[in-house]
Amino acid sequence: MVKLSINGRPEEIDVDPAMPILWVVRERFGMNGTKFGCGIAQCGACTVHLDGEPIRSCSTPISAAEGKAITTIEGIAAEDGTLSKVQQAWISEQVPQCGYCQSGQIMSATALLERSPQPSDEQIDAAMKGNVCRCGMYGRIRKAIKVAAGTEAPTRQESAT
Amino acid sequence: MSDSKFSKPPRSKAAKWTRRGFIGVGALAGGALIVGVAIRTGNPVGKLKPIVAGGEGEALINAWVKIGADNLVTAIVPHCEMGQGAQSTIAQMLADEMDVNWENIRVMDAPADGNYVSQHTVRTFIGPGTVPNRPNQASFMEPTYDGLFTQLGKLGDAYITGGSSSVRSTGQYGMRIAGAAARQMLVAAAAAEWGVPASEITTESTMLSHAKSGKSEAYAKFAAAAAEQDLPRAPRIKTVAEYKLMGMPAPRKDIPGKVDGTAIFGIDGGPEGQELKYAAVKAAPVVGARVESMDATVAKTMPGVLQILNMGDFVAVVADSYWQAQQALGAIETAYTKSEIDGLDSEQMFAGFTKALDEAGAKGGNTKADYGDAAGALSSAALKVEAEYKVPFLAHATMEPMNCTAWVRGGKCDIWTGSQVPLMARSGAAEGAGVSADDVTMHSVLLGGGFGRRLTAEYTNQAARIAKATGYPVRMIWSREEDTTQDFYRPADISRFSGGLDKDGKLLSWNNVHCTEDEPAEAALVEFYDIPNVSVRNAEVEMPLRLGSWRSVAHSQHGFFVESFIDELAHAAGKDPYEFRRTLLANSPRHLAVLDGAAKMAGWGSDLPEGHGRGIALARSFNSIVAEVAEVDMTGGKPRVTRMYCCVDAGFAMNPDGLTAQMESGIIYGLTAAMYDEITIKDGRVQQSNFHDYQMMRMGDAPRITVQIINGAPDNLGGAGEPGLPPAAPAVANAIFAATGQRIRELPIAKHFA
């Protein structure tokens, strides 16, 4: 039995303690926003927060979450559904293409901005180096992080409906 | 060989079909209007029929639009969304012609099956019993639009998402017409109801208005009546000056779901409310080999394991959790049969390429282009230049590994997956499930990357076979290792050139022979350059791996070959590579404008810091022209690409932000391969397995990219998804030469700086 909280909700689950957080989140909690990309912590598509720190959930056993808080992409908007600043910037900069990596990108960017509210380019490089975007939207991700940080103006104000 | 035809190489080229176009209209339950353009292939019965899976000669829906009672207008798009944004852009074209405001537009995937959405929707619309009720149905399009549909048929892409064709085919020749027709029918319906001339009715923002009487109503109010109107013979299409949404950076409809975790990809799809089981698979690692025996003694006892299947060409473990399935799969000892290529290594294969090129010599092989007297002009040239280039196999490495959820029961099969060829995906599942294609329902969802990888159906075939063997819904997911080693690869190639210059450095003779079969056919050609004597040939070689279409297909190799050799010729002639290209573009003004655009953006000719270099390259592919300038920094001893300047002419940018995004994406995809990647073979097996040995470009290595758009031919649209890629590798290789004098003739570049 592992006790933890997920997106603020306390949970207790009977699961093999070696099972990676990724598969617990997806299969046991039915939250599919966190993605499987490589299985060896090389691509970052599975990034979630464990007590606020970005981790690769494909390679972190659920036992590591005992007594801790997991936050996934489903848990970063406000309770009333208002998107986080990072999510809003991802829309204003039209960041996603295929979108498969973007949950992980957003989780890494969110953690970065909590540590460094106005990150330098070098800090962005370091924080985001574990997240691959095969569609190559690195320029837009960088811009969106700066928009979310308030250091650059958004490209567009309206959002898609 | 493998059990299924779907594990064999796909046809890389869509068949050339002859088609005739139809536009259809009908009323939906609830009184909504639906207008669509159906493309019929050669059908001997002469009737439209519901879609039948895959293959040639079968009917398919090209485009639809429906209006709901809520005045929301849905574009039902027969192209998948894999990041290229085509669904949104096509909907934008429809919305503009129909005078629907962007907020009122919704997008959905066209069904891959006549049964898919609802029988009322689909069968009413395209079913044989309904469409022919319309007078002049069969002939009404022909005088005006047959030419357009013939053009669409030539593209051969209406049933697939590939070839950078969605916007320029379906959008330009289908959705715009459907939108314009729908608008005209709404106007006619309102004119009848209001008793006013149609010419006095205006449309804007999904509303119909009559100024004199002050009447104004939403489209939805007239949707049912519009469906009763005669089909317009020639719906009027807007001129460029009338565009409102076309040419604007409308925000994509799929993006909000991709920032909050709600977007559903293949790996997320499945039946509502049904518990899933999970399958991990491992196919025989050498092409043509089969599973000879397996020892699952340990695996059988592992937690959560439900079934272990020897499927002949692959082994599958089905378990309560995917992780459990993976763990058990790893515990199975498998032996494989011998394959013809068991002993093959990359070096041997390339030796075979060299031998084929030697045998082709100066005149052999298949002729791709032959004008002037290339051999004669070469022999009399004042200066001869020779070079040979080499590129490896490449994997697609979509972020989302291949996967498919399948459920086979009661003679029916449901699959949930992302595919660039939904009808083929359905056929693959049908064969695997042992049912007819009509008994397979394909639930199309988002693709976590395509790039040509999802043009095959072996993964839906596998999933259906597993689901058939188990009876319950199973989500099969390939590991990254499986995805890397079981791809349909971009072909390796060697290309040889000899060029002849006169004493003034004018290029007189161009001779090229290479190994790959060119797809598209013009990939290796240089017709836009003014070279009087040209010979381009290819030599046939054996390719040991399964081959597929990889973003920009053969342009990915020939862009590098051609633009590297042009650069070598320029330097041999003692000329600036940009100026040298300019002199060859006297008859290609659009190419010249694009080249000039990129050079100007980059400040070509201005000083760079010590150890930095600038390279330029030009390519036309998928009817778009792209020039790129790369800046590299060699001061660290290894190349670092710091800037990419890109100028593109895609005829007309329907969504300039979308086109820009595609250029950015194509550049990074091309640079990733150019800098880092190769798939190599040892003992018949692919040696790379995951992102540690098949590397991706990451944030810190990605150059700053600037894109400039030229709308050089508004009625002659080009593609977006692929054309940004071909110039990227040669621009960087040429920049490395400019900085160091080191000529890169083999990719990946990292090999030369290890």
Q: What does pLDDT average to over chain B?
A: 86
- 8 Å CB contact of B690 and A40: yes
High-pLDDT (> 90) share of chain B, %: 72
d(CA B701, CA B19) in angstroms, rounded, equals: 47
pLDDT, tens digit, for every residue of B499-526? Answer: 999 999 999 999 999 998 888 889 999 9
- Full DSSP string of B555-600: HHHHHHHHHHHHHHHHHHTT--HHHHHHHT-TT-HHHHHHHHHHHH
Min distance A18 CA to chain B CA atoms (Å): 10
Tokens of B48: 């439209």
CA B130 from chain centre, in angstroms, equals 34
Residue B450 with chain A: CB contacts under 8 Å: 98
Closest partner residue to B477 among A36, A72, A132, by Cβ?
A: A36
In this predicted model, which residue has the larger pLDDT, B509 or B115? B509
pLDDT, tens digit, for every residue of A91-105? Answer: 999 999 999 999 999
pLDDT, tens digit, for every residue of B684-736? Answer: 999 999 999 999 999 999 999 999 999 999 989 999 999 999 999 999 999 99
- 8 Å CB contact of A136 and B249: no
Residue A27 with chain B: CB contacts under 8 Å: 276, 278, 321-322
Q: What per-residue confidence (pLDDT) applies to B518?
A: 84
d(CA B679, CA B548) in angstroms, rounded, equals: 14
High-pLDDT (> 70) share of chain B, %: 84
Residue B635 has pLDDT above 50, yes or no: yes
Q: Are the C-beta atoms of residues B725 and B552 closer than 8 Å to each other?
A: yes
| 3-state SS, residue B533 | strand
**Mean pLDDT value of segment A88-93:** 98
Q: What per-residue confidence (pLDDT) applies to B406?
A: 98
Query: How many Cβ pairs closer than 8 A exist between chain A and B?
Result: 188
Q: What per-residue confidence (pLDDT) applies to B585?
A: 98
Whether residue B285 has a cis bond before it, omega within 30° of 0? no
Q: What per-residue confidence (pLDDT) applies to A64?
A: 98
In this predicted model, which residue has the larger pLDDT, B422 or B508? B508
Q: What per-residue confidence (pLDDT) applies to B35?
A: 55
- 8 Å CB contact of B661 and A140: yes
Closest partner residue to A139 among B278, B657, B705, by Cβ?
A: B705
Is B345's Cβ below 8 Å from some Cβ in A? no
Interface test with B, best of A25, A26, A28, A38 (most B CBs within 10 A): A38
**Mean pLDDT value of segment B331-354:** 95
Other CB atoms within a 10 A radius of the CB of residue B248 amount to 16
pLDDT, tens digit, for every residue of B130-140? Answer: 222 222 222 22
Q: What residue has token string 């009908």?
A: B26
Q: What per-residue confidence (pLDDT) applies to B64?
A: 66
Tokens of B520: 């598209």
Interface test with B, best of A90, A134, A143, A161 (most B CBs within 10 A): A134
| 3-state SS, residue B308 | strand
Write down the pTM of the prediction.
Answer: 0.91
Q: Are the C-beta atoms of residues B9 and B517 closer than 8 Å to each other?
A: no
d(CA A65, CA B268) in angstroms, rounded, equals: 24
Residue B49 has pLDDT above 70, yes or no: no
> Could you tell me the pLDDT band of residue B164, with boundaries at 50, 70 and 90?
confident
Amino acid letter for position B114? G
Residue B73 with chain A: CB contacts under 8 Å: none
- 8 Å CB contact of A74 and B661: no
In this predicted model, which residue has the larger pLDDT, A157 or A127? A127
- 8 Å CB contact of B260 and A33: yes
Residues in chain B: 754
Residue B498 has pLDDT above 90, yes or no: yes
Q: What per-residue confidence (pLDDT) applies to B162?
A: 74
**Mean pLDDT value of segment A32-54:** 98
Q: What per-residue confidence (pLDDT) applies to B715?
A: 87
> Could you tell me the pLDDT band of residue B47, with boundaries at 50, 70 and 90?
very low
Residue B497 phi/psi, 5-degree rounding, is -130, 145
Q: What residue has token string 């600037």?
A: B706
Q: Which residues are paired to B686 by β-bridges?
A: B681
Residue B581 has pLDDT above 90, yes or no: yes
pLDDT, tens digit, for every residue of B521-560? Answer: 899 999 999 999 999 999 999 888 999 999 999 999 999 9
HEC letters along chain A: CEEEEECCEEEEECCCCCCEHHHHHHHHCCCCCCCCCCCCCCCCCCEEEECCEEEEHHHCEHHHHCCCEEECHHHCCCCCCCCCHHHHHHHHCCCCCCCCCHHHHHHHHHHHHHHCCCCCHHHHHHHHCCCCCCCCCHHHHHHHHHHHHCCCCCCCCCCCC
Residue B256 has pLDDT above 70, yes or no: yes
In this predicted model, which residue has the larger pLDDT, B67 or B300? B300
Q: What residue has token string 């299409």?
A: B237
Q: What residue has token string 């950015």?
A: B664
> Could you tell me the pLDDT band of residue A158, with boundaries at 50, 70 and 90?
low
Looking at residue B610, the DSSP 8-state letter turns out to be T
Residue B545 phi/psi, 5-degree rounding, is -100, 170
Residue B1 has pLDDT above 50, yes or no: no
> Could you tell me the pLDDT band of residue B143, with boundaries at 50, 70 and 90?
very low
Q: What burial class does residue A154 get, using C-beta atoms within 10 Å of its C-beta: 0-12 exposed, 13-18 middle, 19+ buried?
A: middle
Is B462's Cβ below 8 Å from some Cβ in A? no
Q: What per-residue confidence (pLDDT) applies to B181?
A: 83
Min distance B376 CA to chain A CA atoms (Å): 46
- 8 Å CB contact of B667 and A95: no
User: CA nearest B287: which of B539, B547, B550?
Assistant: B547
Q: What is the largest CA-CA distance in chain B?
A: 85
Q: Which residues are paired to A48 by β-bridges?
A: A55
Other CB atoms within a 10 A radius of the CB of residue B183 amount to 23
Its ipTM equals 0.98
